[in-house]
Amino acid sequence: MIHYLLPILAVVLGFLFVTVFQFREKKHMKLLLAFSGAFLLAITVFNLLPTVFSEYQPSYGIFVMVGILLQIFLEFFSKGAEHGHVHIHKDSSAFPWLLFVSLSVHAILEGFPMHHHDHLVYGIVVHKIPIAIILTTFFYGSKMSKFSILTFLFLFALMTPLGSFLSEQLTFLEAYQNEISALVIGIFLHISTTILFESSEGHKFNLTKLIVIVAATTIAFFI
């Protein structure tokens, strides 16, 4: 049940941080993104990679690369919302279908390996909170109606639990769990490293950011 509830709670928290607490400070947002990127990368390296590659098959490496390329393809439509960028015309009131579909595909896929990798849910939660904050902040600055904003966030919150549900119900997928997990590894590697590279302005050394990244990595290691 925790695999279903926590990803939903993460989106709700992101929405509340903006709506109730007015959490929109760019400096704090960059630190939160850096933490989420480091945490997601560490969870991938410490948990997903050893499990999938404990019984190595050459095809697993191919699926990791497919995951990286798939995420790049999805970002062609989402414009990088998965790692902190939202590029939609602020004067538009239309529902952003391309953004929604690309984020949904990403969220459904990340939900597939969750019930096989217990710690993965924490990485996904830490990743989703800043994304929900960024989406909510941007939507509030657009001409989208409150109904459209809530509909988008509500459906987006359900996508990762939907992926986990489908993975459990579609029993024929059990034979391909490692391949699916390798695909998700590729997606996470691309997103997390992109977040870490982009979180530094001009790629300059920043002690605060370094401490945040080390803290995230250490927490992920001990979970």
What is the sign of the dihedral through the CA atoms of 40, 44, 48 and 50? negative
Helix (H, G, I), strand (E, B) or coil at 84: coil
pLDDT, tens digit (0-9, with 9 covering 90-100), for 106-147: 999 999 988 777 788 999 999 999 999 989 988 888 888 889
pLDDT at 15: 93
Q: When comparing pLDDT for 99 and 91, which is higher?
A: 99
Banded pLDDT at 88 (limits 50, 70, 90): low
Q: Which of 131-140, 152-161, 166-175 has the highest mean pLDDT?
A: 152-161
Report the alpha-carbon distance of residue 19 to residue 115 in Å, rounded.
Answer: 32
**Using an 8 Å Cβ cutoff, are 183 and 67 in contact?**
yes
Residue 203 confidence (pLDDT) above 70: no
> Which two three-digit tokens encode residue 212?
């945040």
Q: What percent of the chain has pLDDT over 90?
A: 51
* The model's pTM: 0.89
Q: Which of 44-48, 167-171, 194-198, 208-212 has the lowest mean pLDDT?
A: 194-198
Among 95-104, 169-178, 187-196, 203-212, the range scoring the smallest mean pLDDT is 203-212
pLDDT exceeding 70 applies to what percent of the chain?
91
Q: State the Cα–Cα distance between residues 144 and 187, nearest whole angstrom.
A: 29
Most distant CA pair in the chain, distance? 52
> Which stretch of DSSP H or E encloses residue 59?
helix 58-78
Q: Across residues 198-218, what is the average pLDDT?
A: 78
Least confident segment among 34-43, 72-81, 85-94, 110-119: 85-94
Query: What is the predicted pLDDT for the residue at 137?
Result: 87
Q: Name all contacts of 85-92 with Cβ < 8 Å and 24+ positions apart.
A: 85/134, 86/134, 86/135, 86/138, 88/138, 88/142, 89/142, 90/138, 90/141, 90/142, 90/143, 91/142, 91/143, 92/142, 92/143, 92/144
| pLDDT for the residue 90 | 64
> Is pLDDT of 199 > 70?
no
pLDDT band at 89 (very low <50, low <70, confident <90, very high): low
